[in-house]
């Protein structure tokens, strides 16, 4: 029997959980968001290994602390991200604050003031200068322990050096959640690795070694789930790893991209099935919209239900 559209009405003290549940009969992307919450809940009920992938622009936002909290609660088992996310997490860990601007700011004036715009947010050039000083300090300590290491191990060691409950690196290291960053060179963080290597040519960050780790960590017997925020290399690295062990059983994509250009960021869950990245019978949902809105709504619904079912303390 076909589901019916139901009118949405406000009621006093309505919870986020109730709101997202009501989305299932509302329409358009609200239905997809409600479905996505159900898929993530099924991932957790099934005991799946859960990949959470996200791009650096999400760490620029206040989602950074939420990602760290999810790691503390051990909701994802594996993270995949981009290099900018690492540097911005480190910047915030030693107290750098990013500012709110607007999408129509005078960018020439911002540049003259040493401010760099990401959408309607601003990162000061001074933050990068402080980051460079910290990186020299951190890399020297890591170098004294080990000269050659895969990216995931480098990020683990960095996490151990941080002291910030809201840091993704800190919480991932503390809770033994590996962070994969295949595009490590593409940022100020990568440049600092390059500069450090100029003085220490025996210091090697091995990006290929992580492929061995992520592939051998998964098996055909594992249930596997994916929450992909945005796309690009972080999304593809996860789904390629899963492809080699039979594909994902569950997947949620949250993106603003469309499939018309053939890009990885816009590629649909259906397209992924053609590659075997998702199983033929995988349960999947795609939500189009800004993850600053969609992801917290979905996860609050999931976490409320997990708590109710005794899966969260």
**CATH number for position 170:** 3.40.910.10
Residue 252 lies in a domain: yes
CB 189 within 8 A of CB 158: no
Tokens of residue 66, six digits: 């939420």
Residues 6+ apart with CB under 8 A from 176: none
Distance CA 16, CA 104 (A): 32
List, in sequence order, the alpha helices (H) in the chain: 16-23, 28-46, 56-60, 63-72, 83-93, 107-112, 125-145, 151-161, 168-174, 188-199, 209-216, 232-243, 269-275, 291-308
Domain count, the chain: 1
Question: Residue 141's Cα: distance from chain center in Å?
Answer: 27
Q: Which domain holds residue 85?
A: 29-96+130-307
Distance CA 44, CA 147 (A): 38
Residue 123 lies in a domain: no
Residue 1 lies in a domain: no
Residue 242 lies in a domain: yes
pLDDT given for residue 259 in this prediction:
85
277 carries an active-site annotation: yes
pLDDT given for residue 267 in this prediction:
83
pLDDT given for residue 218 in this prediction:
87
- Ranges of residues in the chain with a pLDDT under 50 are none
User: What pTM did the predictor assign?
Assistant: 0.96
Distance CA 92, CA 85 (A): 11
Residue 118 lies in a domain: no
Residue 297 lies in a domain: yes
pLDDT given for residue 313 in this prediction:
75
Q: Which of 145, 277, 279, 307 is catalytic?
A: 277
Q: Which of 204, 205, 224 is nearest to 214 (CA)?
A: 224
Residue 48 lies in a domain: yes
What is the percentage of the chain residues whose pLDDT exceeds 90?
89
Residue 106 lies in a domain: no
């Amino acid at each position: 029997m076909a589901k019916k559209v139901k009118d949405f009405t406000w009621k006093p003290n309505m919870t986020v959980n109730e709101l997202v549940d009501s989305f299932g009969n509302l329409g358009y992307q609200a239905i997809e968001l409600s479905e996505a919450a159900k898929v993530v809940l099924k991932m957790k009920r099934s005991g799946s290994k859960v990949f959470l992938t996200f791009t650096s622009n999400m760490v620029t936002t206040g989602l950074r602390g939420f990602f760290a909290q999810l790691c503390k609660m051990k909701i994802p088992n594996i993270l995949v991200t981009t290099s900018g996310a690492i540097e911005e997490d480190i910047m915030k860990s030693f107290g750098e604050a990013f500012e709110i601007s607007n999408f129509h700011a005078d960018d020439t004036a911002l540049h003259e003031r040493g401010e760099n715009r990401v959408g309607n947010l601003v990162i000061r050039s001074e933050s990068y200068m402080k980051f460079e000083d910290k990186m020299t300090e951190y890399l020297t300590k890591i170098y004294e322990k080990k000269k050659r290491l895969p990216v995931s191990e480098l990020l683990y060691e960095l996490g151990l050096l941080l002291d910030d409950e809201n840091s993704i690196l800190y919480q991932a290291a503390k809770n033994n959640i590996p962070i994969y960053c295949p595009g490590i060179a593409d940022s100020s963080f990568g440049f600092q690795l390059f500069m450090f290597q100029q003085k220490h040519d025996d210091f090697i960050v091995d990006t290929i070694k992580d492929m061995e780790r992520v592939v051998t960590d998964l098996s055909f017997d594992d249930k596997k789930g994916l929450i992909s925020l945005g796309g690009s290399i972080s999304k593809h690295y996860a789904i390629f790893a899963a492809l080699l062990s039979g594909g994902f059983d569950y997947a949620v994509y949250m993106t603003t991209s469309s499939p018309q250009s053939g890009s990885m960021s816009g590629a649909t869950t259906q397209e992924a099935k053609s590659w075997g990245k998702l199983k033929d019978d995988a349960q999947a949902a795609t939500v189009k919209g800004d993850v600053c809105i969609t992801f917290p709504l979905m996860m609050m619904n999931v976490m409320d239900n997990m708590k109710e079912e005794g899966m969260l303390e």
